[in-house]
Structure 1
């Protein structure tokens, strides 16, 4: 089994390569994982093109929802986008927060940061910046963000609880997040979970839906709300790369489900100040 650092390095390498591809190449794969399907162009992503602030150069087709659409961003807000990629959600957020607000994108892949900074330079925005860093240890001070968004990123992170602790630390009291991610209902077949391509792209790093929501509550967030939920149907030609025909039939009839969810939660207005690296409430 891979260590945490090995998993991170695998994801970094995968997304460094994706940063150099165009959207058409990425959309031909399962969240950029290379598990090409003739049945559908991309089994995860939603269409961003109708949202104000959308910039096609920043859309690599890697998300699994539209968190900025649900994020309740107001004019003047400070917004942080976790796993910001080429800047897609950050630019949508910038439209919502306006010129009086501020948007910070965080990504730990240097190639993605370079691509995002190139995009922001072309757009001429002076209130959007991109910082390289690990979202388990964000390069941001405490109590700075009004809103945090993230799109299909936490499923790639081994220490999800650590990320939610960091989100809690960085949000202002009364601030909130809207996060789109992949979760499971039931046990995914081991052959899919163990496949590195699926891990770096889509679902093998996902955890159970109930566990995911419980982590949010354990961290201290309130008003936890499931804003959107959609089932993800993995095409047979993708499943066939990992399972036999008999195993595919068993999987489909097992009740196991893969879902994209968008979840909202608030940091309490009377939130306690962090007292150390292991304390977030």
Structure 2
């Protein structure tokens, strides 16, 4: 059989497709490296320093991360040394964690959500925190040792390729982390892989209603601050459903208002007014979903196999 010959147009399109993939991969790696650098700096600071800084790493009147933070201080298992003020919700409150559960926390930072989850799993359970910033892993391990927790483990890795075997977790939680990952679909697929059949997740994250202004969407600093990395609310929920999850439920939703002193760094006065008066918005949502139980083989009725 003669080999198939591609037309010049097809060859040109194929070449452009490959170039686009290469560009996207390079851009994704640049974003990941930006996040790694920024969060390495944040890991070396305490919560008060982060709260008085811009994007956790420089001086200004307000900063992006802590605009979204909820109050953990009254929750059992809370440890102030592990709270860097980087979340946008309280996913462990909604995660229905039971004693003895295996829980995975994606983007575990200094360990805050892991330690709260551990208070619910008890000593018979296990909590695994995953973070790809070495400084965060080191800080979390130090905190776990101080607390004497021997069933809380921290693993360095990319949540697009989790260092965890399949079908191991009863519950997965995450707090304002998927925004930092360029390939969100890959993370959701990994969540599905690592959950046991019948397991579930509760994830707090930032989503958009309408489009962000280009200046905000393209700025790398805003990406690391969890804003420019947000995707549309319906797209976010759609990714969860198309990856096979069921009972997808928004457990909590709240608006996020970026202060004018931050917006004015990216938008002129007319753009700022248009953004604030338009239909665009930024929200924090906490989403619950379940991995279906594996389908059992239908039983053979009497006589059918004779």
- TM-score using structure 1 length: 0.93
For 1:112, the equivalent position in structure 2 comes to 136
Q: Please tell me whether the aligned partners of residues 37 and 235 of structure 1 are also in contact (alpha carbons under 8 angstroms).
A: no
Quote the residue 1:6 is aligned against.
Answer: 30
Partner of residue 196, structure 1: 220
Alpha-carbon distance, 1:35 to partner: 7.8
2-structure distance, mates of 1:261, 1:132: 26
State the shift of 1:222 in Å.
0.2
Aligned residue number for residue 164 of structure 2: 140
SS in structure 2 of the partner of residue 42 of structure 1: helix
The one-character-per-residue Cα deviations of 1:59-94 (angstroms, maximum 9, x if unpaired) are: 000000000010000000000000000000000000
Is 1:239 the counterpart of 2:263 in the alignment?
yes
Alignment of 1:126-165 (within 5 A): 126-165=150-189
The residue aligned with 1:278 is none
Number of residue pairs aligned between Structure 1 and Structure 2? 272
Structure 1 unaligned segments of length 5 or more: list them: 273-281
**Pairwise CA distance, 1:46:** 0.1
User: Offset at 1:42?
Assistant: 2.8
Which of structures 1 and 2 has the larger relative contact order (alpha carbons within 8 angstroms, sep 6+)? 1
Alpha-carbon offset, residue 25 of structure 1: 1.4
Report the equivalent of 2:92. Answer: 68
Counterpart for residue 99 of structure 1: 123
Q: Aligned partners of 2:209 and 2:144: how far apart in 1? A: 38
Q: Name 2:303's counterpart in structure 1.
A: none
Deviation track 1:147-187 (CA, whole Å, cap 9, x = no partner) reads: 00000000010000000000000000000000000000000
How far off is 1:253 after superposition?
1.3
Q: Does 1:84 align with 2:105?
A: no
- Residue of structure 1 in register with 2:4 after alignment: none
Residue 196 of structure 2 aligns to a residue in which SS? strand
Distance 1:71 1:30 in 2: 31
1:254 aligns with 2:278: yes
- The Cα of 1:28 is off from its aligned counterpart by 2.5
**1:39, 1:237 within 8 Å by CA — same for their partners in 2?**
no
Please state whether the residue corresponding to 1:233 is helix, strand or coil: coil
List 4+ stretches of structure 1 deviating above 4 A.
38-41
Q: Are the structure 2 counterparts of residues 188 and 123 from structure 1 closer, same or farther at C-alpha, using a change threshold of 3 Å?
A: same
* Pairing 1:264–2:302 present: no
Q: Judge conservation of contact 1:173–1:271 (CA < 8 Å) in 2.
A: no
Map of 1:154-233 to 2, 5 A cutoff? 154-233=178-257
Find the aligned partners of 2:280 and 2:213 in 1 and give their Cα distance.
9
Q: Check the 8 A contact 2:54/2:64 in 1, yes or no.
A: no
Instruction: Give 1 or 2 for the bigger CA radius of gyration.
Output: 2
C-alpha RMSD of the superposition = 1.7
**Contact kept? 1:150, 1:180, Cα under 8 Å:** yes
* SS at structure 2 position matched to 1:81: strand
